[in-house]
Each structure stands twice: as structure tokens, then as C-alpha cells.
Amino acid sequence: MPSRGDDSLIRDSLISDLRALVGERGILTAASDIEPYLSDWRGLYHGQSPCVLRPADTQQLADAMKLLASRQVAVVPQGGNTSMVGGAMPDESGRQVVLSLARMNRIRDIDPVDMTMVAEAGVILKAAQDAAAEAGCLFPLSLGAEGSATIGGVLSTNAGGNTTVRYGNARELMLGLEVVLPDGQVWNGLRRLRKDNTGYALRQLFVGAEGTLGIITAAVLRLVARPRAREVAFCAVPDLAAALGLFRRFRDRDEASLQAFEYMSGTGVGLVLKHIPGTALPLAEAADHYVLVDLASPRPDAGLRTLIEAVLGEALEAGEVLDAAIAESTAQIQALWRLREEHSESQKLAGASVKNDVSVPVSRVPDLIRLATAAAERLMPGIRAVPFGHMGDGNIHMNFVQPEAMAPAAFLARSHDLMDQVNAVVRSLDGSFSAEHGIGRLKPDMLADWRAGAEFELMQRLKAAIDPAGLMNPGKVFEIPRS
């Protein structure tokens, strides 16, 4: 067993050899410089790392990966560090090197004929959206962390967000990848083809692999036509079945214009109105259930106003909608969306909360919300269920805020019991325990449990085939095998 002194020598030699490959700007070693990379923003984890690598380009990264592989040093890739599940955190050993993609932030190419963008992994999602807009197009992936999250991160986690119902997850918006493999080989799969049936779909494997199979360094992204018409409505509905019914009405009428369909509970909207300054209910009376409908089209003459009024009118008549407000300006659109987007913040201000990022088949969303709420209330009278999210794709953030009189710590002590209750409901409805946040460091035990058998074995076999030494983002997706 090496002594403390040996460790230190190995570390110094590693850093010096890495510096020779990536240059002075490509490596951080001072504790104060490294610190920001060692904690996740939710405050769930705090790790250690001998240095942070910040290569300038794919070749530097590949050279560094070769060196790290030869020394058997593990690598933890990090983009915008916005993981909800600790997916970009090193462990506490101080032996895992954090690899930041932040400096690889060039948009290499944007083509309004092919409707593609070639972006490096470190490009911030918002910057990609802006570049697409400048080229007269739309890059439709949109989520809360878009000001920090990076293209490498959203692909490695197959991020979802508000527009999945229309455009799919990150996976569906990707045509090609460049990946540095665990041994430092570069795979250039930056093809911008809509049809290419030549062997196994490798690019699909790296999307959502959370950096455990290799490092995504660049991607060909799909762009779509820029919307030129938009209509947004905020609706009170009598019950969960009516919310689903309203979704079906819009989807059936014109699914291509339906950019988002978001559910909110009366409790959740109430917390927003109470805790977030400047928010107001756009309806005369409060209700137990709300939905936000967002329609858009590249056609200025798409008749979206007629459509939204017609569908809401029919739904009012059928008793599926109690009241609705249609935004008359961009400012009003933003105000309506704010009622949805401030849900997380208002929950934080209301006390301790427990979050569940779950999904079920769309038809089971009412059951999910009803059964999970009932189970939580049985467990803990006074608990405030605040489910909200992407009803149109079956992904509900099944969150709970502590009872008003309870101590936060006492509430959080029960969080596993609560999650177990929710997950039992999700399982009974053929749902998923991680809809869009992934596994990271938080849920490997659940993956092993929920996907046990042929599926989990197959995943392990793929991991062993591509990263036999287990050096890629260890402890994420899979628990580290005890030696």
C-alpha cells in the first residue's frame, strides 16, 4: 500500500504531465480555483479532485484521456454543473479528476439549409438557442437551467424540459456526435444525415449515458423553423380528468402546434402567488387544478387564436374548463409562464420539500397525482402536495412541501418514506422513477432495483465492453463494485 508521501508524488507527476498536454490554462490546481467544481448546486454532494482539467479542444482532451487511462485515473466530466442527481460530482477520495468542458464552447458551424448546428460540448444551451435564432431558426430544447447547462450535459443526460411534447428530448434533436472514448480514441460521428443506416446506433448509446461510456465533445444538433405565431392560455379545470381531456382536445386538433401543456395544482399556484412578488392569478376565482397551454407555429396565418378559442370554448361547454385567460401580449405570456416557472422557488420559500421526478403513461397522470397525493397524506397529515409539470409527456414533478407546523428537519427525516410511497404508485402505473433527471450519484440503487434482470445485466455488459477499467464517471448510473 502506498504511503501518503507516495500519493502526493504520484499526484504531482500526474499534474505535471497533464499540464504538458493541455497547457497552463488547461489545468486548475489551486484549491480556491477547484472549489466551485466540487459541489453540486443542490448541495447534495461535495467531492475532491487533485486538479480540474479544462482542455481547449478535442485533441487536448483526447491526449489527456490517454494519459489518464494509462495511469488508471478516473475522470468526472462536468458541463454547467446543473445536475439534479449529482451526476458531475467527483467522490471524496481526491483521486478522480474533474474534466470541465467549459472552454470547448465554439459553435463550429450553423447551416440554415441543413437546419443543423455543430456545437462543442461546452456551449451553453442558451447560447445555442441564441445562435439558432440569429440564423433564423429555433433550437427547441428549453429547460430551467438553460443559462448554465451545456450541450454536452444536456446530451449526456438526455435532457427533456417543457417542449418534449412537441420536439422530443435532447436525443431527438441530435443527428451526430464526436466522442472521446475511454482509451483516448476520438470517434468522429458528426454526420448531419437524417437517414444513415450503417451499423449500430452508437450515438444513441452515448446520449443519456451520463459520461460513463465516454466524453461527448461536440454534436450535430437539429434546428427547426422559427415560430411566427403564438398563443398561450392559463386555464382553471375542475379535476385531473378534465386536465387530461383538455390535453387530448388540443393534441387531437393540431398536435404540431402544441409546444407545451403544463399541469399545476391549486396548492402549487397558491404558493407561487403567496411567495413570489409580482405574480397574480389571471382568473376571477382560484381553483384546485390549472393547466398552461402553449401553442406556436411558423405560420403567421396559422389561425392559432381561432384554434385556442374554439378548443377552450368547446371545453367550457363540456365542463372541462372552468375559466381561462388568453395572453394578449408577450408580457402577458411571460406572466402566465411565471406562474409555472416559479413553482420550485416558491416551494423552497414555503419550507422543506421532497422532489420526485417521475413519469407515467400520459393516460395515467391523473391516477399518479391522485394516488401519490393520497398516499403522502396518509403518511403525514397536513403535508402539501404540489405536483406540477409536463402533463403532455407524462412527466410530473410529484413534489411535497412540509406541513406548516412541522420542523423542516423532522419532515426531511421522512423523505425516504415519502419517496417510497410515490415510487410504489409510479411502479404500479408502469412508470419511471427518473423521467428527465437521470441516475447520477443519487439513484444507482434504484436503477439496480427497478431494472433488475436482463436489462440491468445488459447495461453492465455494455459498460464493461466500452469502459473495461471503469474509469469513466465512476459511481454514476452504477454503484461502484465493492472490491
186 binds a copy of itself (CB under 8 A): yes
Return the number of the residue (192 or 370) whose C-beta is nearest a copy of itself. 192
Among 17, 254, 341, 367, binds a copy of itself (CB under 8 A): 254
427 binds a copy of itself (CB under 8 A): no
Among 78, 169, 259, 399, binds a copy of itself (CB under 8 A): 169
CB of 255 to a copy of itself, least distance (A): 5
Stretch that binds a copy of itself, among 97-105, 204-212, 286-294, 319-327 (CB under 8 A): 204-212
Q: Which of residues 344-373 bind a copy of itself (CB under 8 A)?
A: 359-363
Stretch that binds a copy of itself, among 19-27, 341-349, 408-416, 447-455 (CB under 8 A): 447-455
Q: Which of residues 383-412 bind a copy of itself (CB under 8 A)?
A: 390, 393-395
481 binds a copy of itself (CB under 8 A): no
- The letter for the amino acid at 477 is V
Q: Which of residues 109-148 bind a copy of itself (CB under 8 A)?
A: 111, 113-116
164 binds a copy of itself (CB under 8 A): yes
CB of 237 to a copy of itself, least distance (A): 16
- The closest of 52, 59, 118 to 81, measured between CA atoms, is 52
Specify the residue for cell string 382568473.
283
Q: Measured in whole angstroms, how far is the alpha carbon of residue 332 from the centre of its chain?
A: 26
User: What are the residues whose beta carbons fall under 8 Å from the beta carbon of 306, sequence distance 6 or more?
Assistant: none
465 binds a copy of itself (CB under 8 A): yes
195 binds a copy of itself (CB under 8 A): yes
- The letter for the amino acid at 398 is M
Return the number of the residue (270 or 387) whose C-beta is nearest a copy of itself. 387
CB of 387 to a copy of itself, least distance (A): 15
305 binds a copy of itself (CB under 8 A): no
Among 42, 248, 378, 416, binds a copy of itself (CB under 8 A): 248
Stretch that binds a copy of itself, among 44-52, 248-256, 378-386, 408-416 (CB under 8 A): 248-256
Stretch that binds a copy of itself, among 21-29, 41-49, 185-193, 404-412 (CB under 8 A): 185-193
x/- site string to a copy of itself, residues 25 to 64, per CB under 8 A? ----------------------------------------
Among 9, 193, 286, 374, binds a copy of itself (CB under 8 A): 193
Stretch that binds a copy of itself, among 47-55, 122-130, 334-342, 449-457 (CB under 8 A): 449-457
Among 133, 286, 452, 464, binds a copy of itself (CB under 8 A): 464
**Cα 423–166–427 angle (5° rounding)?**
15
Among 35, 196, 328, 417, binds a copy of itself (CB under 8 A): 196
Stretch that binds a copy of itself, among 118-126, 265-273, 407-415, 456-464 (CB under 8 A): 456-464
Q: Which of residues 85-114 bind a copy of itself (CB under 8 A)?
A: 111, 113-114
Return the number of the residue (287 or 360) whose C-beta is nearest a copy of itself. 360
Q: Which of residues 216-245 bind a copy of itself (CB under 8 A)?
A: 224-225, 244
Return the number of the residue (106 or 192) whose C-beta is nearest a copy of itself. 192
Return the number of the residue (205 or 406) whose C-beta is nearest a copy of itself. 205
For a copy of itself (CB under 8 A), the number of binding residues is 92
- The letter for the amino acid at 221 is L
Task: For residue 172, give the C-alpha cell.
Answer: 431527438
Secondary structure (H, E, C), the chain: CCCHHHHHHHHHHHHHHHHHHHCHHHEECCHHHHHHHCECCCCCCECCCCCEECCCCHHHHHHHHHHHHHCCCCEEEECCCCCCCCCCCCCCCCCCEEEECCCCCCEEEEECCCCEEEEECCCEHHHHHHHHHHCCEECCCECCCCCCCEHHHHHHCCCCECCHHHHCCHHHHEEEEEEECCCCCEEEECCCCCCCCCCCCHHHHHCCCCCCCCEEEEEEEECEECCCEEEEEEEEECCHHHHHHHHHHHHHHHHHHEEEEEEEEHHHHHHHHHHCCCCCCCCCCCCCEEEEEEEEECCCCCCHHHHHHHHHHHHHHCCCCCEEEECCCHHHHHHHHHHHHCHHHHHHHCCCEECCEEECCHHHHHHHHHHHHHHHHHHCCCCEECCEEEHHHCEEECCEECCCCCCHHHHHCCHHHHHHHHHHHHHHCCCECCCCCCCCCCCHHHHHHHCCCHHHHHHHHHHHHHCCCCCECCCCCCCCCCC
Return the number of the residue (75 or 115) whose C-beta is nearest a copy of itself. 115
Stretch that binds a copy of itself, among 10-18, 96-104, 123-131, 434-442 (CB under 8 A): 434-442
**Cα 168–173–177 angle (5° rounding)?**
140
- The letter for the amino acid at 8 is S
Measured distance CA(229)–CA(227) in Å, rounded: 6
